[in-house]
Homo-oligomer: A and B are copies of this chain.
Amino acid sequence: MTTRPSGRAPDEMRAITIETAFTKHAEGSCLISFGDTRVLCTASVEDRLPPWLRGKGQGWVTGEYSMLPRATHTRGSREAARGKQSGRTQEIQRLIGRSLRAVVDLKKLGEHQITLDCDVIQADGGTRTASISGAWVALRLAVNTLLESGAIKEDPISSKVAAISCGIHQGTPVLDLDYIEDSAADADANFVLLEGGQIGEVQATAEGATYDEEGLLRLLRLARMGCDRIFEAQEKAVA
């Protein structure tokens, strides 16, 4: 039996905490933690839409992502100073936007744009999955204010959405990789799941090893367990 560096069981997640209203200006916000990974998620509602959507009677949901320079073990350079966002950053923020749009009816949202800013305060593996999971909470809170103010009539959100990473560590499928495991994993997969277990997105990458159909399914089942835990935490946070 393998031992995870953290001593966790293969299907054991890190502690999840979600602190809502972490900042006061945003229409919705939370600080989400997956263990030592902490991400500030805010949802900003604006009336202006991207040019290609204007006048179409629908809204838009988009994501932005960043790591504070010293969120990580050693300081990374600031993307604003370098003058461009890395490929990794762009890949993650595209994923955040797609994942949230998977549960939003853009017609019901009306001509509003909601931007989900996910800023990583501290990183210890799983920043993109914490970002998606926290962004849903911020989005839910922001949409609630739109519903309460009468700005929109029908709830455009059809389901919760959460994300979790799984991987194969020393031959064993494990749930919710921290930084140490992530660096050493043979294969790494991020799952974006909806309530009921429907798949929003799978991004599974073999690193060092490849995996077969069976391996993929085992990871998917772990992910389902993990997302159920996150859905509970989300439920409690927005109650």
Given contacts A44-B70, A206-B199, contact A87 B81 (CB under 8 A): no
Q: Chain B contacts of A46 at CB under 8 A?
A: 74-75
Given contacts A66-B78, A212-B198, contact A25 B71 (CB under 8 A): yes
Within 8 Å by CB of A211, from B44, B87, B199, B205, lies B199
Within 8 Å by CB of A94, from B91, B115, B194, lies B91
Stretch at the interface among A7-15, A148-156, A213-221, A230-238: A213-221
Would you call A70 and B204 a contact (CB within 8 A)?
no
Stretch at the interface among A51-59, A117-125, A129-137: A117-125
Per the bound structure, the CA–CA distance linking A40 and B46 in Å amounts to: 26
Per the bound structure, the CA–CA distance linking A23 and B69 in Å amounts to: 12
Within 8 Å by CB of A91, from B24, B91, B211, lies B91
Would you call B80 and A85 a contact (CB within 8 A)?
yes
Copies in the complex: 6
Q: Is A102 an interface residue (CB 8 A)?
A: yes
Q: Chain B contacts of A5 at CB under 8 A?
A: none
Q: Is A165 an interface residue (CB 8 A)?
A: no
Q: Is A26 an interface residue (CB 8 A)?
A: yes
Q: Is A79 an interface residue (CB 8 A)?
A: yes
Per the bound structure, the CA–CA distance linking A74 and B89 in Å amounts to: 23
Per the bound structure, the CA–CA distance linking A122 and B121 in Å amounts to: 13
Would you call B75 and A115 a contact (CB within 8 A)?
yes
Q: Is A16 an interface residue (CB 8 A)?
A: no
Find the B residue at minimum CB distance from A80.
B79
Q: Is A110 an interface residue (CB 8 A)?
A: no
Known contacts A64-B69, A200-B205, A200-B210; can you find 6 more A-B pairs with CB under 8 A?
A23-B70, A44-B74, A88-B94, A102-B206, A202-B204, A213-B217
- The contact sample of 26 A-B pairs, CB cut-off 8 A, is A23-B71, A25-B70, A25-B73, A26-B70, A42-B69, A64-B78, A78-B117, A80-B80, A83-B84, A87-B87, A87-B90, A87-B91, A91-B94, A102-B206, A102-B207, A197-B212, A198-B211, A199-B204, A199-B206, A199-B210, A199-B213, A199-B215, A201-B203, A201-B204, A216-B216, A216-B220
